[in-house]
Chain A
Amino acid sequence: MKQKNSLPAVFLTPAMGILAVLALVPTAYAIYISFQNRELSRPDGSLIGLANYIDLFSDRRFINAIGVSLTWEAVTVGMTLLIAVGLGILLFECVSPRTRNLLALLFLVPVILPRVSAAFVWKFAFHPLYGIATYPYKAITGQPLDLLSNPATALATVALVDVWQWGLFFAVIVLKLLETLPPQPFEAARLDHARTWEIYAFIALPMLKAPLISLAFVKMIESLRAFDLIYVMTRGGPGIATETLDMYAFSQGFIESGRISYASSMAVLMMIATSIAFTFIWKRVQ
């Protein structure tokens, strides 16, 4: 009996050991060097306490990056779920099962595409002179449309690419979830003369609450890792209009300054903020 109980530990120990080495060691090291003044060109840094953390709060780029990251998170998660639910219902309601399968296959293509490739394709598509996405505007008005150079539209334009990749993929998941629901509640609602939107708003979506929340969590985590998309499409520009926290930390660590301690302090703050936010949201949802 005793032997049986120790089996999970036998299997878990190697995995947890590897995880500890791969995740905990770099994390602990990042926390340690965030209290130093190390730079890539001067590896012999000294301990400076909380100076990096204090400096961050008077750094306008850091404050801006917090705002950009929050906006990015809200826009991409919100829009992805909106598109996914809307499109999923539309497919379920209006398209025959055979065509649905074909469309589902097509909707999977964007998410299969590597992020960097997608970013390059769309960057070119949005080019004001040669881009296919901006061509109709240019043809109608005679004026070029430079969405990625405009601080007011750059973040939304990059977010559109993110939503294109994930919204369509999630729409397929929502469609498949709708197909698994039992038909009886829908039939009963129709007998009670419920309208189509009422059936989805009050029956189907509440039945899908748990998987939709899971999708939202997956997207929230995925949106935090949008570095590659933003890096290729705008590099954080114009100016700092699309500079997210991870983008700024990378710039400080490797592109501009080589200030790895300063960049680490940002990474540590991001880790703490993300852990608190996700724990809070998770508890609220439960």
Chain B
Amino acid sequence: MTKPKTLVSSIAFACLLSTGLTTLAVAAECSDTIKVLAQPRDGLTLLEDYKSEFEKLSGGASFEIDYLNENDRRAKTKADASTIGKYNVYYIDEANVALFASAGWVAPLMDYYPADYDYADFDPGRQKVATYDGKVWFAPITGGGDLMVYRKDLLEAAGIAPPKTLDEYIAAVKKLNQPDQGIYGTALRGQRGSGANVWRWMPFFKGFGGNWFDGKTPVFDGEQAVKATETYLELFKYSAPGSQTGGWDEAVGAFTSGQVAMLIESTPLVGMAIDPKSSKVAGKVGYLPPPAPLTGGGYGHGLAIGVKANKDEASKTCAGLFIAWATSKENEARRLEANQFSELNRTSIMTSPKFAELYGPDLGQALAETGKLTAVNFWQSPQWPDLGDRWGIILEELITGTRSDIKEGLDELDGFAKDLVARSQ
């Protein structure tokens, strides 16, 4: 039964590659080295194995990718784009796309993205976060929403059904927390940052009905934010050690090393948790959409065309071609073949027989269901990183106990938000 399936998927894969070869014919004339500033991603590393293919496609151009971790990449892209502009292509994300677009640091992508590469094939959620002010600014290389990922063996042993509501989830986390046996109920993100602790807190805030702004007036300082913070702090009592000042790496590391019963995290966690190479709990993992009323944190990271380094239209076209090639169906098919789940963004790939063969129908189903809950939880504004990071510091203080008054923290943020809006006008 497996053999015909493999045969079918191999044929599909070959067809996809051959489609790619036809696009090779659409060659542009580029000869310089395209400099890319990114954060480490398996998909980009894989891309470096096919440099010669891009050279042929572009008419002689090559590319160099510099990698920095997420926070450093954000700081460096901002500094580079606003000053010397050394990089032709920037790795940007949902949290700073508004800033980069409104500051004029990146060019509208679709003006330079060859139509053959089918931008519309990207997951609609990722297209949404790549769009600001009615224009598309980046081509996704990772993204998604949230999933509740749990240890089936631990839940079964404790006689707990996978939670569907937040109350059930909190009760299950409390029951499953057994530090004396090296198992913690959950793992959250405590590290300050709009993309760290605030990112995991926002589904509670939005799920409880919170909103950031009404026009230019901050409206977040209310009972929804207080309740969200109280719930987040309550759950932190059962969060794995190290997560109080940790981010994605610490939370995911604690789960894949078998020390956490369940957590709500971004969808790439599933790929890591079910892969025996990166997970001690592969084979014991279940996944469902986040419990109601939590929303999923819709996110997307991708490649955008830098304005300063690409002084003329020709260089922008070359950068656009590189981005199109890097995020093309062919390259994404290679990522699928290399089992890089978190690097998949195209609908045609995620609905392909090869995807179903590798990850089973359950994951496809869970992704489809969580897509319905996925929302843009953050404030879509150039000032968002500033506001989000400030709340990240206050939230980290609340988590680690240097501050205890939630309302006072929110009031401080409210004052900061008002200053921020005033400064931007």
The chain A residues found within 8 Å of chain B, CB to CB, are: 37, 39-43, 61, 127-130, 142-144, 146, 148-151, 234-241, 250-251, 254-258
Contact = CB atoms under 8 A, between A and B. Distances in A.
A236 B397 CA distance: 11
Contacts of B149: none
A39 B244 CA distance: 32
Interface of B: 71, 74-76, 78-79, 82-83, 99, 102-103, 105, 179-180, 190-192, 240-242, 244-245, 254, 257, 259, 382, 385-386, 389-390, 393-394, 396-397, 399-403, 423
A42 B423 CA distance: 11
B242 A255 contact: no
Contact of B78 (A40, A143, A149, A234): A40
Given A237-B396, A239-B396, A239-B402, A129 B191 contact: no
Contacts of A239: 192, 393-394, 396-397, 400, 402-403
Given A129-B240, A129-B242, 17 more contacts: A40-B83, A41-B99, A41-B102, A42-B103, A128-B242, A130-B257, A146-B242, A151-B400, A237-B192, A238-B399, A241-B402, A254-B78, A254-B79, A256-B385, A256-B389, A256-B390, A258-B82
Contacts of A128: 241-242
A99 to B, nearest CB: 39
B157 to A, nearest CB: 22
A39 B382 CA distance: 12
Contact of B71 (A40, A146, A234, A255): A255
Contact of B75 (A37, A129, A130, A255): A255
A146 B241 contact: yes
Contacts of B74: 255
B397 A256 contact: no
Among A37, A130, A257, the most chain B Cβ lie within 10 Å of the Cβ of: A257
Contacts of A241: 400, 402
A238 B396 contact: yes
A234 B394 CA distance: 15
Contacts of B394: 239
**7 cross-chain pairs, A with B, having the tightest CB-CB distances, nearest first:** A239-B397, A238-B400, A128-B241, A144-B241, A41-B103, A40-B82, A149-B244
A238 B55 CA distance: 47
24 contacts: A37-B423, A41-B99, A41-B103, A43-B82, A127-B242, A128-B241, A128-B242, A129-B240, A142-B180, A146-B242, A146-B244, A149-B190, A149-B400, A151-B400, A237-B192, A237-B245, A237-B396, A238-B244, A239-B396, A250-B75, A255-B71, A256-B385, A256-B386, A257-B386
Contacts of B99: 41
A241 B82 CA distance: 30
Contact of A238 (B78, B82, B402): B402
Contacts of B390: 256
A169 B82 CA distance: 41
Contact of B245 (A149, A250, A256): A149
A241 B400 CA distance: 10
Contacts of A256: 385-386, 389-390
Nearest to B196: A235
A233 to B, nearest CB: 10
Nearest to A128: B241
A238 B397 contact: yes
Nearest to A41: B103
A237 B191 contact: yes
A128 B401 CA distance: 18
A106 B399 CA distance: 40
A150 B74 CA distance: 27
Nearest to B197: A237
B170 to A, nearest CB: 22
Contacts of B240: 129
Given A40-B78, A43-B82, A256-B385, A235 B71 contact: yes
Among A142, A148, A240, the most chain B Cβ lie within 10 Å of the Cβ of: A240
Given A40-B82, A146-B241, A256-B390, A151 B75 contact: no
A69 to B, nearest CB: 17
A61 B79 CA distance: 22
A142 B400 CA distance: 21
A13 B155 CA distance: 76
A150 B403 CA distance: 12
A151 B401 contact: yes
Contacts of A42: 103
Contacts of A235: 71, 191-192
B191 A151 contact: no
B378 to A, nearest CB: 15
B245 A234 contact: yes
B245 A148 contact: yes
Among A142, A146, A256, A258, the most chain B Cβ lie within 10 Å of the Cβ of: A256
A241 B389 CA distance: 16
Contacts of B102: 41
Contacts of B79: 40, 254
Contact of A149 (B75, B179, B242, B254): B242
A7 B394 CA distance: 60
A240 B75 contact: no
A42 B103 CA distance: 7
B120 to A, nearest CB: 30
Given A41-B99, A255-B71, A129 B190 contact: no
Contacts of B402: 151, 238-241
A250 to B, nearest CB: 8
A41 to B, nearest CB: 4
Contacts of A251: 389
B159 to A, nearest CB: 26
Contacts of A142: 180
B78 A258 contact: yes
Contacts of B389: 251, 255-257
A66 to B, nearest CB: 17
A141 to B, nearest CB: 11
A145 B362 CA distance: 39
